[in-house]
Amino acid sequence: MNKLYTRGLFIKVILLISFYFWDVAISSSGSNSAETVLRSKQTHPFTYNLKNELSDSDNFEYLESGIEFLLNRFDMKGASFAVAKDARLVFAKGAGYADAEAKVRVEPKHMFRIASISKLITATTIMKMQELGLLDLDDKVFGREGILNHPIYLDYSDSRAERITVRHLLNHSAGWNRRFGDHMFMPHHIARQMKVDSPVQVSDIIRFALKKRLHFNPGSRTSYSNLGYAILGEIIEHITDMEYEAYVQQTILHPLGIQDMRIGGNLEHQRFDNEVKYYEQSNASEVKSIYDINEFVPLSYGGNDIETLGAAGGWIASPAELLKLIAAIDGRPGVPDILSSESIEMMTDTRLSGGHMIGWTGSDRRGNWWRTGTFAGTSALVMRQNNGLNWAVIFNSSTYRGTTLSREITREVQTALNSLEQWPEHDLFYYFEAPPSLCPDIAEHR
């Protein structure tokens, strides 16, 4: 591991140099006008330049009415949605309330929890690390020769744990299922078993899982695992000697000009200034707080541990920023991809990935890929279509429909978008309002 880490330090120097030239390339590909700046030198998120009225258009009335229909049908408070056509952000708008009590309307700058869409961010980071030589997908994770060979992870009861590879974690085939519960959502049980204080840490959850027998042989089949992606977060920290969030921002997000995506907080008072408020269905029951077993709280505020979910489900983002990420991993021309074509193919072709897409939820025969994210107070979907369209919709509310809500969203959005015959020429990724005192004639909406 020391040898691997030393090699990684050298490659990160090369990475910084390559990011500079890559940054220049994607900036110049978007526009050559005076107001365009290098993405890495942006001083604030580009979404702060966007307002709902910039996307007012008769062309998108059908789409807006579809989102309003979903809000009303499922009694959800607010939503934000964005559409990119051929790598251009042509639409970004909010509907309903970011904070219903304060009557704050949703705007494109508002951030939402994106739940398991976070796995796509983590998977992209791991694939980039493989390209940089920091790890290999077939590296073993546990055991004395594994990546996570710290003494706290060597006390495992099932020797099959030594077979688990990075690839197994990525494609949900590491050996765990949720037959007896999801490891990431049973904090009090784990605290009791491991004799640790609440809230439990990721390391506590991993140690708990390792003390139990695996449910199947690693690589023999797939079973969706939040734990697997939490472990990937630990791998990123161990290899890079950086906090997971910081490394992802430095290596993936900031070079793309994504300045505002981050790990969210657990409690309402931990919301960021431009983060929405979260709402559950009216009949939702309160649960035991992750901080105090004797206190009952909403799942969305203190019932789920967003911070510990981290690499598996802790990110917050705006739809517009999500589409900037998707444009860099969609395998299309328009903007340079941050991953190689081989990495993108491995993530999206189950014959190469090992039976389950890497990072993405699913795909179809037409070449559409999608990623969903759902838990209390959050319903999210991002779609890469085969016709040059990428789109994302995020709600700050949960419904009784759970994960099946994504089908309703897909039907409404695709029906609306398929009806469009003419697309805007502008690109809101590069919308810029120049300070009048500096550049009075260049503020424009392209």
Q: What pLDDT digit, counting tens, does each position of 60-115 carry?
A: 999 999 999 999 999 999 999 999 999 999 999 999 999 999 999 999 999 999 99
Residues 393 and 93: their CA atoms lie apart, in Å, by 10
Residue 272 above 90 pLDDT?
Answer: yes
Q: What is the mean pLDDT of residues 423-442?
A: 66
> Residues 6 or more apart from 440 whose CB is under 8 A from it?
434
Least confident of 336-340, 383-387, 411-415, 418-422: 418-422
Residue 380 above 90 pLDDT?
Answer: yes
Q: Mean pLDDT across the chain, nearest whole number?
A: 88
Residue 35 above 90 pLDDT?
Answer: no
In this structure, what DSSP letter does residue 94 have?
A: E
Task: Estimate to the nearest angstrom the gap between the alpha carbon of 195 and the chain centroid.
Answer: 32
> Which residues constitute the domain of residue 373?
43-120+259-430
Q: Are residues 90 and 61 in the same domain?
A: yes
**Domain end: 216, 244, 272, which one?**
244
pLDDT of residue 4: 43
Q: Are residues 168 and 192 in the same domain?
A: yes
The reply to whether 8 falls in a domain is no
Q: Are residues 294 and 204 in the same domain?
A: no
Q: Are residues 289 and 346 in the same domain?
A: yes
């089908």: which residue's tokens? 407
**Domain end: 183, 216, 244, which one?**
244
315-317 vs 78-85, strand pairing mode: unpaired
Residues 25 and 178: their CA atoms lie apart, in Å, by 45
pLDDT of residue 439: 37
The reply to whether 11 falls in a domain is no
Least confident of 26-40, 149-163, 257-271: 26-40
Task: Estimate to the nearest angstrom the gap between the alpha carbon of 209 and the chain centroid.
Answer: 24
Q: Dig out the tokens for 232 from the structure.
A: 């990937």
The reply to whether 393 falls in a domain is yes
Task: Estimate to the nearest angstrom the gap between the alpha carbon of 440 and the chain centroid.
Answer: 37
CATH of the domain at 79: 3.40.710.10
Q: Are residues 314 and 227 in the same domain?
A: no
Number of domains within the chain:
2
The reply to whether 439 falls in a domain is no
In the chain, pLDDT over 70 holds for what percent of residues?
Answer: 87
Rg (CA), the chain: 22
Q: What is the mean pLDDT of residues 350-362?
A: 92
Residues 357 and 363: their CA atoms lie apart, in Å, by 8
Residue 434 above 70 pLDDT?
Answer: no
Least confident of 224-228, 274-278, 334-338, 339-343: 334-338
The reply to whether 35 falls in a domain is no
Q: Are residues 139 and 199 in the same domain?
A: yes
**Domain end: 215, 244, 273, which one?**
244
Residue 2 above 60 pLDDT?
Answer: no
At residue 419 the predicted structure's pLDDT band, cuts being 50, 70 and 90, is confident
The reply to whether 283 falls in a domain is yes
DSSP assignments along 242-286, one per residue: S-HHHHHIIIIIGGGT--S-EE--SSGGG--TTBPP-B--TTPPP
Q: What is the mean pLDDT of residues 27-49?
A: 52
pLDDT of residue 43: 58
The reply to whether 402 falls in a domain is yes
At residue 282 the predicted structure's pLDDT band, cuts being 50, 70 and 90, is confident
At residue 433 the predicted structure's pLDDT band, cuts being 50, 70 and 90, is low
Least confident of 42-51, 285-294, 298-307, 322-331: 42-51
Residues 39 and 258: their CA atoms lie apart, in Å, by 8
Q: Are residues 267 and 218 in the same domain?
A: no
The reply to whether 289 falls in a domain is yes
Q: Are residues 179 and 325 in the same domain?
A: no
Residues 157 and 168: their CA atoms lie apart, in Å, by 19
Residue 39 above 70 pLDDT?
Answer: no
Whether residue 199 has a cis bond before it, omega within 30° of 0: yes
Q: Dig out the tokens for 75 from the structure.
A: 């009694």
Helices (H), ranges, 35-89: 61-73
Q: Are residues 114 and 236 in the same domain?
A: no
Q: Are residues 197 and 284 in the same domain?
A: no
Q: Dig out the tokens for 129 from the structure.
A: 């690390």
In this structure, what DSSP letter does residue 370 have?
A: E
- Beta strand extents in 25-70 (DSSP E only): none
Residues 302 and 291: their CA atoms lie apart, in Å, by 7
Q: Are residues 277 and 361 in the same domain?
A: yes
pLDDT of residue 400: 82
Least confident of 20-24, 307-311, 351-355: 20-24
Q: Are residues 240 and 266 in the same domain?
A: no
